[in-house]
Amino acid sequence: MAPALSTESSTVVNVPAASVAHEATGKDVYVRQSSGLVRTVGARTALFANLVGMGIIVNFFWITEASAFYPNANLITTVAIGVVINVAVGYVYWMLASAMPRSGGDYIFVGRIFHPSIGLGVNLLFSVVFVTWAGLFAYFTAFYAIPTMLAAYTLAGGGGAALAMANTIISSTTDIFVIGLVTLLIVILVSLLPTKWVFRVSVGVFIGSAIVFAIMIGILLATPQSTFAADFNNHPVYGPSYSALVSAVPITATGTFLGIVYTMLSFIGYANSSYYGGEIRGNPIRTQGLAIFGAPIIFAALIAGLYAASYYTFGRGFLIGISGSYFTTPGAAWPGPLYLAAYIVHVPLLAAFLSFGLVLTFFGFSLIYFVLPTRNLFAWSFDRIFPTFLTKVSRNGVPWVAVLVLAVSAGFALWIQTYTTLFDYATLGYSNFGFWFAVGIVCLAGALFPFIRKRAYSQAPRIVQARVGPVPVLTIVGVAAFAAAWFVSYASSTGQYLGITSGYSIGDLAFLPIVFVIGIVVYFVSYAVQRARGVPVDLISKELPPD
């Protein structure tokens, strides 16, 4: 375990207390003196993987929900508000990931700054959300993405067989489950590959998504609203004419401010590289800076352009109207811009390829949000909080036991989504509530890091110690990010906020805070067990695990 340096290339303070404890007790805090993970992920790969976790074209999907549920919002403006909040949060994660470059992300950050029990509570909350999303987006691949692709092929002139197949899929829970399970099995198999191949797949997903994004934006910018309206009226799939579907809902400041909830949900993903910090190569300041701090800025520019181009071609009022039509009478095709482009292109394969972007996006989500909790589970077990057999790695540095254990959890999430009503549209809403609640705790930890872990902070890289006068920049930004994150969490928690009349049940909202509390309880139970075995678990909060 190497001691920390205080240069720009340093990692963190690492007090060699575990070695002293081993000499005194014969017991180690950690499972072994090396994590076994391999540092193979470079800066650009981490950036692309973070952008895959955000989904650079997913707002061609979310824009329909956002238009239906926040009709008074100007979605372009919500991006401008959202990027400010997310850059602040990204800065905090960047600084903490530079100071503590280990796998486990906020489990390490919060656990070493506040207490391991709080770190586990926060990280368990995130991990439950992530593994749920792995199953959820496998389901979305089957229920939304593939049927929309088939329906777009038919709409562009490819014949009715594809649409019939789409309708067959969405009307059969068995078909949906099988397709979702195949998607999830591919995700699991990829996750068992050497880490560099996992991220090569994610880069491939990014490249494919970028191609769809570029083609789609080009098509929209070349198609004025009048042209789309004429094409739409010539293909009366929805019955009403273009003008009959246009909803004259005014833009309001309140509606736009509320609409930030969906935009903030879209931004989630730029801090993903902090969870596999033990596999990041090179200087973490540079690598995590590009991946964590750069991703929300790039993403904001892309989705602002996406919203603007969608409004230009389809019209804001039409998107509101057609989204309401879908939620009243659901069909095989999700009426987002990727599907609506089939009215314009009249080339079946091109229309299907654009909607294939949704398949790529949801597969990428399922992959990334499956990989992240495997690294978290590994980190908990490496600290001996969970069974140590979960830290087993292959000769290529893959935590294969953690992958297989969480494969069962993701499969269960898929089954729940398919065959029960426990997950619905509210799932993403209240996971947004829980997610930003936990992000707020991380930001507060960052703000207090210079004051409650002075020694660790003093040995962090110089950029982490930057100040404005006597006040650390990390504290200033951390406090602002904490307040913003908890506001978004609150805004996500109640439909009554600022006049909206529908919301979530108390049971929905209580689930993730209960998970947080369970994490704290699990830590103290494990603490008692390990203390009884003579393991010096008190040292967990005093140093980082081995590299």
According to the model, what pLDDT value does residue 236 have?
A: 64
- Quote the tokens at residue 485: 């994150």
Q: Evaluate whether 308 touches 78 at the Cβ level (below 8 Å).
A: no
Could you name the CATH architecture of 17-542? Up-down Bundle (1.20)
CB burial readout 361-399, b (16+ within 10 A) else e? bbbbbbbbbbbbbbbbbbbbbbbbbbeeebbebeeebbb
Mean pLDDT of 302-307: 94
CA distance 399 to 378: 7
pLDDT value at position 188? Answer: 96
- Which range has the worst mean pLDDT, 223-232, 319-328, 424-433, 486-495? 424-433
Q: What per-residue confidence (pLDDT) applies to 399?
A: 87
pLDDT at 543: 66
What pLDDT does 448 receive? 96
Asked if residue 342 lies in contact with residue 156, where contact means CB atoms within 8 angstroms, the answer is yes
Amino acid letter at 93? Y
Torsion 296-64-162-414 (CA) sign? positive
In percent, how much of the chain has pLDDT > 90? 52
For 45, the 3-state DSSP assignment is helix
Residue 500 has pLDDT above 50, yes or no: no
* Stronger pLDDT, 120 or 239, i.e. the higher one: 120
Domain ranges of the chain: 17-542
pLDDT at residue 392 in the model: 86
Provide the token pair at 311.
């409004």
Round to whole Å and give the CA distance between 127 and 37. 19
Whether the model clears a pTM of 0.85, i.e. scores above it, the answer is yes
For 77-119, the pLDDT digits (tens) are 989 988 999 999 999 999 999 988 887 889 999 998 999 999 9
325-338: average pLDDT: 79
The helix (H) or strand (E) run that includes residue 468 is strand 467-468
